[in-house]
Structure 1
Amino acid sequence: MDFKAMTGKEIEAFLKDQVSEHYKLYIPKLMEDERSAVQKIGLKLQKKLEKLSTEKERVESLWFYEKELAKEGYRMIAGLDEAGRGPLAGPVVAAAVILPFDLFIDGINDSKKISEKKREKLYDIINEKALAVGVGIVENNVIDEINILRATKRAMGEAVKNLEIKSDFLLIDAVKLTDIKIKQQSVIKGDQKSISIAAASIIAKVTRDRIMNQYHEVFPEYGFVSHKGYGTKEHYESIEKHGITPIHRKSFLQNL
């Protein structure tokens, strides 16, 4: 590629369409260019490449549990996580995700550490790249009947059943599912340690957030679109002013 015959804007437009594997070929040519503006593009590309390399190392470390299980012969390893154990309103949602081995997903992490915009983007990527995705939803009235821990486990069980491919091992964030006869391992803070659990945390979080956004349309005075049903000051003030809704968890509001 002859960058000398291109303007800075043309170079930047060209680089936008290039895969990261080609950056190493372009950086020396950009840095050798006599134009300082082009050299700055080279430096920017170098920093981008370094950042990407660091990110690939981080994501590679998230494959630890899955690769250890692969050594034992497991192939369809599903990560499980939930969203919505703590809120005062709405369902608890669980997700199960089976990923193809060695998949690199830029930015994947515990859903709580990612912005809403980034979660939405990763949600689409995971659904596109995953071998299978299952979701389980347990509503607030059931939570009141059986308690939140049992409801969470029920949602996880539904998520496993809804996988398009049968899992041969479950990696679960801090929970054990005694009713499911599939070998499993509970991982404390698993959404920060396992890529499959991290993927499940994103699917569960985005799914539940979308549900609460829909409830906001029905009960706009409660502000569900902003706090998603969690016990914020705004939420408690809305309850005091308007009372509880059919989607509130009465067992969580006994003191009121």
Structure 2
Amino acid sequence: MASPTPTDTAAHDTSQIPAPEGSITVTVRVLRFNPEFDDEPHWESYDVPALPTDRVLNLLINIKSYVDGTLSFRRSCAHGICGSDAMQINGVNRLACKVLIKDLLAKGNKRTTISVAPIKGLPQMKDLYVDMEPFFEAFKAVKPYLIAYGNEPTHERIQSQADRERFDDTTKCILCACCTTSCPVFWSDGSYFGPAAIVNAHRFIFDSRDEGSEERLDILNDTEGVWRCRTTFNCTDACPRGIQVTKAIQEVKQALLFKRV
């Protein structure tokens, strides 16, 4: 049975939010949900003054600070590094701290509507934050750390520039979950490891210093591993760090097929 479409509620009074010179009005529609009071998520609207150079995160902070302190969302560094503020912005997974209002405006338009909702596929705990535990369980399951056997070396493990470049792209992951929660397979079956877990396995599978590649490949050869990927490129499009996620998944598949890394 399909979930009911969330209903809209009346807009809030946002007159207390400071309106800097040159600001425009942005209607921010937020998919709200408080498990203590709500049976289903619902949309609430806020007309917020904003500068074109503001980020979506700025608008959410202003709503929380001046209008409704109960609005809940995660944030930390606000510079696209921590990955805390991943959410759907106009239906696309993005980091709220990296999306500028001017990039959401139609040319010549002085007013726009932005819809903000939590990322899909993980339980909505309250408003814009979700339960990340299933995501991190998948991450931990692929053993995302250097594995080395034998005696502890007496000097550092030397690696050539070419060896380092082999897995350089997948070191950029910030575990924001944008890629994993943009994946239709993950939406329909949360037991799929998901792109982020595979990316972090890739980072060590192709590290010349690591000796645990076979273990990780065996894990990812499971029915919920890399073979569930349908190559839709949603994950690559969603990554705020520009990681070629789909390419990394294909390289892990090739490693399994040819039994070489």
TM over 0.5: no
User: Which structure: greater helix fraction?
Assistant: 1
Query: Which structure has the higher relative contact order (CA within 8 Å, separation 6+)?
Result: 1
